[in-house]
Chain A
Amino acid sequence: DQQVKQNSPSLSVQEGRISILNCDYTNSMFDYFLWYKKYPAEGPTFLISISSIKDKNEDGRFTVFLNKSAKHLSLHIVPSQPGDSAVYFCAANGQNFVFGPGTRLSVLP
């Protein structure tokens, strides 16, 4: 039973437009969420996080939104760049961090 879901396995976006990656979770006890980015043949790298006491966190082109009542978070990338093409993982903290299956983002020039 997946506690963290990323229902879109892939997403294609034109360069310069907005990318929106979605993540849903089932455990209402989760209170800290992270996004990681992964290039092929490399380990994941931390991108941005959000605590449940906030509903938005921004870092440059990356913004994460959290809707606790819907148990949903999203990562917005504006403007998208070809270098953003990667797999994005959402993670939530239980006793340990639980990772979603990832969404592959392709930013087309």
Chain B
Amino acid sequence: NAGVTQTPKFRILKIGQSMTLQCTQDMNHNYMYWYRQDPGMGLKLIYYSVGAGITDKGEVPNGYNVSRSTTEDFPLRLELAAPSQTSVYFCASSPSGLSEQYFGPGTRLTVT
């Protein structure tokens, strides 16, 4: 049981480039989330999904897109990367919206 896995672990992007952060969970959880964490700040919710085919915006969705075609996968797409998107990105899953979340190890992204 791998839990929540994220790839890549690290990435450096040039301004204007695009990339997809991958997230997979093997716990059959309906709920999945993407957060970003900036230094000295808490986790900010980017997007979330309550099941395959259903996604919704969180607190900071601008500059990002998501899709949820399967229960297991919840990729996060960055279009036209900007320095403000330099952050650590965490994917998480949970069996319900009111239960604790299980986090992946994170992706450290630098945009220069």
Chain A interface residues toward B at CB < 8 A: 2, 4, 9, 32, 34, 36, 41-46, 49, 89, 93, 96-102
Contacts and interface: CB of A to CB of B under 8 A. Distances in A.
Interface residues of B, number: 23
Contacts of B40: 9, 101
23 contacts: A4-B42, A34-B100, A42-B106, A43-B4, A43-B90, A43-B103, A44-B90, A45-B103, A49-B100, A89-B43, A93-B98, A96-B45, A96-B48, A96-B58, A97-B101, A99-B35, A99-B42, A99-B43, A99-B44, A101-B40, A101-B41, A101-B42, A102-B42
B105 interface: yes
- In the A-B complex, the 5 residue pairs with the smallest Cβ-Cβ separation, listed nearest first, are A43-B103, A99-B42, A46-B100, A99-B43, A101-B42
Contacts of A42: 105-106
Among A89, A97, A99, the most chain B Cβ lie within 10 Å of the Cβ of A97
Contacts of B48: 96
A22 to B, nearest CB: 15
A29 to B, nearest CB: 14
A89 B42 contact: yes
A64 to B, nearest CB: 13
A41 B42 contact: no
A73 to B, nearest CB: 15
Given A41-B106, A43-B103, A46-B101, 17 more contacts: A9-B40, A41-B105, A42-B106, A43-B4, A43-B92, A43-B104, A44-B103, A46-B100, A46-B102, A96-B48, A96-B58, A98-B42, A99-B35, A99-B42, A99-B44, A101-B40, A102-B42
